[in-house]
Copies of this chain bind each other. A is one copy, B any other.
Amino acid sequence: MVPHLTTQLTGPLQELERIVLDRRPDIERWFRAQWSAHEVPFYCSVDLRNSGFKLAPVDTNLFPGGFNNLNPEFLPLCVHAAMSAIERLCHDARGVLLVPENHTRNLHYLQNVAVLKRILEGAGLTVRIGSLIPDLQGALEVTTSGGETLKLEPVERRGNRVGVAGFDPCAVLNNNDLSAGIPQLLQGIEQPVVPPLVAGWSTRRKSHHFHAYDRMAEEFAKLVGIDPWVVNPVFSQCGKVNFTQKDGEECLAANVEFVLGEVREKYAQYGITEPPFAIVKADAGTYGMGIMTVKSVDDVRNLNRRTRNKMSTIKEGQPVHEVIIQEGVYTFESVDGAVAEPVVYMMDPFVVGGFYRVHTDRGIDENLNAPGARYAPLAFETNCHTPDCTGKPGDPPNRFYTYGVVARLAMLAAAVEVEELVERASALEVRAANA
């Protein structure tokens, strides 16, 4: 059930796993306290990188689109988590409107929508799919990669409520990351929308997320007594970049130098001999677009036209002006010889599954979220019936528990981040009302 995985360097990570396993009661208690202070996201997926000496989140997605890649045998976990989330969301819920991305030709994405729908139905909800596709006239039937038929219906606004024809849902579950902006249709409606509209990529920034993660990682590291760097990638940001016009190159160079310098120091401290690298990403980017690996300041000076074009626009044709420069974390995991990174899925406060993103043509220092990636479901190994198995860090169940802890840490940061986005939005509304 567990894909064959190899890690070359296992020393320090095993130390982290040992600590995490030993402190499990304190960690779970800490998470319980955190979730009573912060509203847990409905769902969330986290891309992790495990370099053997470091295990860190590199991206946190509030509109996860890979439920179809989870091990189908674990869908009951999702169903339970959805039941629990729905009780929180609207106790009296019977109908939910699921709002997907607009692309109708990505059949794997449509299969993700079909699986999400099935999870919600498993939790006892009536689910209709409300599409934001512009000018959609009536229902559109599409076939997913799994051969299922989905009916996409145009979202209808009726006063302060939304629905689809003949259906007035109790809540809206958004699976559309709103890269193109917050649609008028969904603004100011009285039904709860999860995640909140401000969590979309028109207002969200990766750098904001990692600022929140800094604080969470700091607190967690203090709790279990580790160097926060072991779970936290160094990062910096540039606010005024224009790749096409070569604007902001100095800012980029200075921040790449800063990040590489910090990492160099840490590598020296831990005796790591690999060369440090950094990842430059669009601060509001998603779908693996607008990402490049840099190993020295020279890599961001004199960019060739092809790279500048690649970096200048992202999903929905949005131009890139803000970037995050993040410590690159090597992935020393591989599945069947190909480079791999774990992606962990959560719903309510629960880890409900995950998979390895595997790429045959990419290196251990590259972004794997790119065309050509494939997915190997990550099973939970739990049939651990011998007493000494509790004692071996590196065993799949223990390794996955540690993955779940770091992924939940990133989800917690996302919760704090969304809280702040919501607060900022209401402050702006108040200011606008007073103007």
Using CB atoms and an 8 Å cutoff, list the residues of chain A in contact with chain B. 1, 24-29, 31-33, 36, 72-77, 79-81, 83-84, 86-87, 91-95, 118, 121-126, 146-149, 349-350, 380, 382-387
CB of A124 within 8 A of CB of B76, answer: no
Residues of B within 8 Å of A31, CB to CB, are 124
CB of B28 within 8 A of CB of A148, answer: no
CB of A24 within 8 A of CB of B124, answer: yes
Identify which of B29, B36, B77, B124 contacts A29 (C-beta below 8 A).
B124
Q: A73-B380, A147-B387 are in contact. List 14 more A-B contacts (CB 8 A).
A: A24-B124, A25-B94, A25-B95, A29-B93, A32-B87, A32-B92, A33-B92, A73-B382, A74-B76, A77-B80, A80-B350, A83-B350, A147-B386, A149-B387
Question: How far apart sit A349 and B148, CA to CA, in the bound complex (Å)?
Answer: 31
Residues of B within 8 Å of A83, CB to CB, are 28, 349-350
23 A–B contacts, CB within 8 A, in A order? A24-B121, A24-B124, A25-B125, A26-B94, A27-B124, A28-B124, A29-B94, A32-B87, A32-B91, A32-B92, A33-B91, A36-B91, A73-B73, A73-B380, A76-B77, A80-B81, A80-B350, A84-B84, A118-B384, A146-B385, A147-B385, A147-B386, A149-B387
A24 CB to nearest chain B CB (Å)? 5
CB of A386 within 8 A of CB of B148, answer: yes
A387 CB to nearest chain B CB (Å)? 5
Identify which of B27, B148, B349, B382 contacts A75 (C-beta below 8 A).
B382
Question: How far apart sit A83 and B81, CA to CA, in the bound complex (Å)?
Answer: 11
The prevalent SS among residues of A at the interface is: helix
Residues of B within 8 Å of A125, CB to CB, are 25, 28
A311 CB to nearest chain B CB (Å)? 38
Decide: A73 near B383, CB < 8 A? Known: A32-B91, A83-B28: yes
- Closest-by-CB residue of B relative to A143 is B387
Question: How far apart sit A79 and B382, CA to CA, in the bound complex (Å)?
Answer: 10
Question: How far apart sit A116 and B433, CA to CA, in the bound complex (Å)?
Answer: 56
Residues of B within 8 Å of A380, CB to CB, are 73, 76
Residues of B within 8 Å of A84, CB to CB, are 84
Residues of B within 8 Å of A28, CB to CB, are 83, 123-125
- Closest-by-CB residue of B relative to A381 is B73
Question: How far apart sit A33 and B92, CA to CA, in the bound complex (Å)?
Answer: 8
A244 CB to nearest chain B CB (Å)? 44
A103 CB to nearest chain B CB (Å)? 21
Question: How far apart sit A27 and B32, CA to CA, in the bound complex (Å)?
Answer: 30
A193 CB to nearest chain B CB (Å)? 20
Question: How far apart sit A386 and B143, CA to CA, in the bound complex (Å)?
Answer: 11
Residues of B within 8 Å of A76, CB to CB, are 74, 77, 380, 382
A122 CB to nearest chain B CB (Å)? 8
Question: How far apart sit A27 and B386, CA to CA, in the bound complex (Å)?
Answer: 41
Identify which of B77, B86, B93, B387 contacts A77 (C-beta below 8 A).
B77
Question: How far apart sit A136 and B1, CA to CA, in the bound complex (Å)?
Answer: 43
Question: How far apart sit A384 and B118, CA to CA, in the bound complex (Å)?
Answer: 9
